[in-house]
Amino acid sequence: MTIAVASTPTTEINPPASPEAVVMRFAGDSGDGIQLTGSQFTLSTALAGNDLATFPDFPAEIRAPQGTTFGVSAFQINFGSTSIDTAGDVPDVLMAMNPAALKVNLAALRPGGLIIADAGAFDERNLEKAGYVDNPLEDGTLAPYQVVALDIARLTLEAVKPVGLSNRDGLRCKAMWALGLALWMFDRDRQPLIDSLKTKFGAKSDKLVAANVAALNAGHAYGENAEIGTPLKQVRLPRAEMAPGLYRTVTGGETVALGLVAGSQLAGLPLFLGSYPITPASPILHYLARLKEYEVTTFQAEDEIAAICSAIGASYAGQLGVTTSSGPGIALKGEALGLAIMSELPLVVVNVQRGGPSTGLPTKTEQSDLYQAVYGRNGDAPLVVIAARSPSDCFEVAIEAVRLAVQFMTPVILLTDGYIANAAEPWRIPDLAAYEAFPVTFFDKAPSEGKVNPYQRDPETLKRIWIKPGTPGLTHRIGGIEKSFSTGAISYDSANHQKMTDTRKAKIDGIAKFIPEQDVALGETRGKLAVVGWGSTYGSIQQAVRRVRARGGDVSHIHVRHLWPLPRNLGALLKGYERVLVPEMNTGQLKTVLRDQFLIDAKPFNKVSGQPFMVAEIEAAIEQALA
Amino acid sequence: MNAIPKFTAADFASDQEVRWCPGCGDYSILKSVQRTLAEIGARRENTVCISGIGCSSRFPYYVETYGYHTIHGRAPAIATGVKLANPELDVWIVTGDGDGLSIGGNHMLHLLRRNLDCQVLLFNNEIYGLTKGQYSPTSRSGKHSPSTPFGSVDRPLNPCAFALGAGARFIARSYDLAQSKTPEILARAHAHRGTSFVEIYQNCIVYNDGAFEKFAGKKAAPDSQLWLESGKPMLFAGGNKGLRLNRETWALEVVALDGQTPEAAGILVHDETNNVIAKLLIDMPVGNFPVALGVIYCNPAPAFDGAVAEQNRQVAAGKKRDLNALLRKGDTWSVEGEVFEAHA
């Protein structure tokens, strides 16, 4: 057996035997099955009753060249017995399946943290590809850490030998071996994962299931038999205190899809999704494509423009039109968004934001499409913009998007991002009976004389009537050309254009009366500093504000869901603080909107590295703002 | 018998003032469509005209049905959503050579290959009218226009050849002034399940006047128009000329009958389902050959909207629509005060 090699025993910075939370990062080649390992470990963590947050971080290439640093795929999970808001700043444990994975991820590791490395993969070729001259497992590079170097490749091959797989297929089970060891480290039940492997691979091959289970069990057994005195220790994390209820883990992709279906049911409409494949939005299309029994029709269009246009067509015909994409795709949809605004039809547009501009960083996260959402169209073209702050929140926000779209006959842009879309967290499953329905009524009363005006409006909300083609006596024409306020016919009249532009703006502005007032997520409604965020930065800001408050700092956290129109009390609320800090994963977009709308001196704090904020980064920015 | 309300062409005229240039070919096409709608017994509320941008795309405003005047080139995509949401609607897409084949060429390609059940009326005037006279993708090489002051060096697209290449199952051709023939062709297009592609040559009196004079002009017409009829020999010039297939070169040739019967002269009999002959008919160069008009190709295949609806029905059959249950599917665990239970 390979001997575990312990380096400097820096005991004073070792994690406590029973820590409240652990941050673990799995890293390896993009072909190593790191994402699968991570999601399986997540499931096990959830079933053990720990709170958790994950951060899958993978390259854009499907199979980048083996062993290279740019081909490294990683999966980070923060789990524990306390409330977990983020995937964690600094890993305590790094599972490195090759030299490149070590090279890329070592800098993030906590000094004194534990490295479990597959020594079998640290051969000359892989070392060279990763840019190491000497083997870091042997040259003292890892002195500040605890190291367990194992020939996982060989151990895995030994374990799967009885199943009779080829060497190549056998090595594919390496990650399962590592997962087995990780399960032992945190005293987890293996059975749910074995069941899950059976479901996943069972149909393909019994051999594959047997090999993966054998590798998993071998990794676990290795831990059980590890010698006392090595850094491999078993750690038990008590389960987290969580609100009573039924839980499951979800990613933002799943909850957006489920929320859209829930919204369509609350509206009493069939759902039509027109979409074109794009990273990181495609999982929503994949999920909805399977839900035909929920009156869901999905259509993979020939391009982004056809995707939104088909959704507009479906809304015109009386269904709930939805389109999903990411920044570059939303750019292509711009003109059609204008058409939906002009013809005042309901439409939900989901933008799973990624690094930009242009193709940018397709698999990395950013929130730099706020300007695009709020301002990015020709003409005065207002619509509704809302944002989700976490995978769980996506469910609620998707329902809200549907509600606003149908109640105000308007397109609604729902912003999530690559982080929320892929990250998993426990979700307290809601009871749909608790949601208030908002059934749609189509207009079907033919006028006793004259023609119907399709642009006749509800005096309170200013929304126009929705007439389904097929309704007798109400034939009419709509389109992208300006329409007469009073008849709905084409009108080039200047006073009418002024009136219609004003009306479209007033309709969207007026939605502020029908959305909740802005609350304070943590802290007071006035004071020295407000940290204002939106979207996926919620967890990092919440943690940072909590830490500074624990030290007596006068800081509060405000997290904005409704970005356009903004909540009616937001301006007054922000003016109750001496200073306003706006952390964003862009160069300061909400900051601009807040300054413009409220003439306040909102200060930006920005990061555009494709990675989420670390809590410590925001904490430092808060301290600076308070100084 | 139930009294089915009898509509006339006038019942399909909207109250909107038609704003095409005086003498525009679009007027005749509008009349033909309104007549067709009356003749086929279309229901106003069940009919939807969808257009993009351009002179032709103003069409929906003038027809007393449901109508959606959308954005440039995108009518096929909008129509796809309409038809998938409600397959009962009778959808007519009205487009032009710029709208349907330039900016919207991609959508047209995919509409045709999917075979959505709808009619496409492509008004081909070989010019951009609404933007004041630039050459279009169907303009002939050498066309002088504001954007090609020295003549275009582009090679033009043949709309019907494009449609055939894209997998269209119904292809027909007519021209604006053929008011006696067009309604019959449109009725055939309407009856066909799937995308019915109808190219209608249309004279732009302002920017491209006389573009089709060579075969649409009164004098030229009899000798240069071949009106195809299924099962009938391909005759023109008052029955004095016909088309024959040269079986050595696989090319069509014009034959003078000189008193022979069509059979004796080896004249081709029109088989609408033959796409090889359809291609040859579509490609015939004007001048040496007549222009093929009427239903060139009709070879039905399952329509996209029907297939989508059918799969939706089949997959959903027997499954319960219980969203609360769906949310709770898979690995869950419950927290109830001190009690924790995993349900993997």
pLDDT digits (tens, 9 = 90+) for A577-617: 999 999 999 999 999 999 999 999 999 999 999 999 999 99
Tokens of A420: 């929320």
Give pLDDT, residue A199. Answer: 85
Kindly report the CA angle at A451 between A446 and A456, in degrees rounded to 5?
Answer: 80
pLDDT band at A13 (very low <50, low <70, confident <90, very high): very low
SS (H, E, C) B133-167: CCCCCCCCCCCCECCECCCCCCCCCCHHHHHHHHC
**Residue A208 DSSP class:** H
Q: How far apart are CA A556 and CA A552, in angstroms?
A: 12
pLDDT band at A18 (very low <50, low <70, confident <90, very high): low
Asked if B319 lies within 8 A of A293 by C-beta distance, the reply is: yes
At B62-112, the pLDDT tens digits run 999 999 999 999 999 999 999 999 999 999 999 999 999 999 999 999 999
Best A50, A246, A395, A449 member to test B by mutation, with max B CBs in 10 Å, is: A246
Of A429, A472, A478, the CB nearest to B68: A478
Of A272, A506, A292, whose CA–CA distance to A382 is shortest?
Answer: A506
At A395-446, the pLDDT tens digits run 999 999 999 999 999 999 999 999 999 999 999 999 999 999 999 999 999 9
Are the C-beta atoms of A175 and A124 separated by less than 8 Å? no
Residue A541 has pLDDT above 50, yes or no: yes
Residue A10 has pLDDT above 70, yes or no: no
What strand order describes the sheet that includes B339-343?
A424-428, A245-251, B332-336, B339-343
Contacts with B321 from chain A: Cβ below 8 Å: 293-295
Shortest alpha-carbon distance between residue A50 and chain B (Å): 11
**Residue A251 DSSP class:** E
Burial of A144 (0-12, 13-18, 19+ CB in 10 A): middle
Give the pairing of strands A384-387 and A320-325. unpaired
Shortest alpha-carbon distance between residue A383 and chain B (Å): 18
Residue A2 has pLDDT above 50, yes or no: no
Q: How far apart are CA A339 and CA A385, in angstroms?
A: 17
Task: Please give the helix or strand (H or E) that residue B295 lies within, else none.
Answer: strand B291-298
Of B24, B329, B82, B40, whose CA–CA distance to B206 is shortest?
Answer: B24
Residue with tokens 């702050």: A389
Q: How far apart are CA A33 and CA A101, in angstroms?
A: 13
Task: Please give the helix or strand (H or E) that residue A252 lies within, else none.
Answer: helix A252-267
Cβ count near B154 (within 10 Å): 16
Contacts with A303 from chain B: Cβ below 8 Å: 106
Contacts with A292 from chain B: Cβ below 8 Å: 311-312, 315-316, 319
> Mean pLDDT across the stretch A292-321?
98
Contacts with B311 from chain A: Cβ below 8 Å: 292
Q: How far apart are CA B46 and CA A53, in angstroms?
A: 52
Low-confidence residues in chain B, pLDDT < 50: 1
Residue A123 has pLDDT above 90, yes or no: yes
pLDDT band at A3 (very low <50, low <70, confident <90, very high): very low
Of B74, B89, B330, the CB nearest to A336: B74
* Sequence-distant (≥ 6) Cβ neighbours of residue A487 within 8 angstroms: A451, A453, A455
Residue A75 has pLDDT above 90, yes or no: yes
Q: Is the ipTM of this complex over 0.95?
A: yes
pLDDT band at A16 (very low <50, low <70, confident <90, very high): very low
CA dihedral A253→A259→A262→A267, nearest 10 degrees, is: -130
Cα atoms in the Cβ-side hemisphere of radius 13 Å centred on A446: 11
Q: How far apart are CA B138 and CA B154, in angstroms?
A: 9
Contacts with B74 from chain A: Cβ below 8 Å: 305-306, 309, 336
Give pLDDT, residue A14. Answer: 41
Residue with tokens 């796409």: B275
* Closest chain B residue by Cα to residue A431: B324
Shortest alpha-carbon distance between residue B136 and chain A (Å): 22
Q: What percent of chain A has pLDDT over 90?
A: 86
Q: Is the dihedral of CA A481, A486, A487, A488 positive or negative?
A: positive
Burial of B165 (0-12, 13-18, 19+ CB in 10 A): middle
Tokens of A154: 């060989």
> Mean pLDDT across the stretch A257-281?
98
Tokens of A130: 């990763």
Task: Please give the helix or strand (H or E) that residue B113 lies within, else none.
Answer: helix B105-114
What letter represents residue A38's amino acid? G
pLDDT band at A1 (very low <50, low <70, confident <90, very high): very low
Cα atoms in the Cβ-side hemisphere of radius 13 Å centred on B156: 21
Of A597, A624, A617, whose CA–CA distance to A512 is shortest?
Answer: A597
Is pTM, for the whole model, over 0.80?
Answer: yes
By residue count, chain B amounts to 344
Q: Is the dihedral of CA B118, B121, B127, B132 positive or negative?
A: negative
Q: How far apart are CA A162 and CA A174, in angstroms?
A: 16
* Closest chain B residue by Cα to residue A454: B66
Q: How far apart are CA A251 and CA A232, in angstroms?
A: 31
Q: Tell me what the pLDDT averaged over chain A comes to.
A: 93
Residue A229 has pLDDT above 90, yes or no: no
**Three-class SS of residue A126?**
helix
> Mean pLDDT across the stretch A464-475?
98
Give pLDDT, residue A145. Answer: 95
At A350-383, the pLDDT tens digits run 999 999 999 999 999 999 999 999 999 999 999 9
Ramachandran assignment for A588, one of left (phi > 0), alpha (psi -120 to 50 degrees), beta (any other) = left
Question: A274 — phi, psi (to 5°)?
Answer: -105, 120
Asked if A477 lies within 8 A of B66 by C-beta distance, the reply is: yes
**Cα distances (angstroms) measured from residue A625 to each of A115, A580, A595, A620, B122:** 36, 9, 17, 9, 63
Contacts with B118 from chain A: Cβ below 8 Å: none
**Cα distances (angstroms) measured from residue A344 to each of A260, A312, A315, B245:** 20, 10, 10, 55
Give pLDDT, residue A64. Answer: 80
Contacts with A343 from chain B: Cβ below 8 Å: 68
Kindly report the CA angle at B257 between B254 and B261, in degrees rounded to 5?
Answer: 125
Tokens of A379: 């003409």
Residue with tokens 């609320």: A573
Are the C-beta atoms of A150 and A222 separated by less than 8 Å? yes
* Closest chain B residue by Cα to residue A238: B340
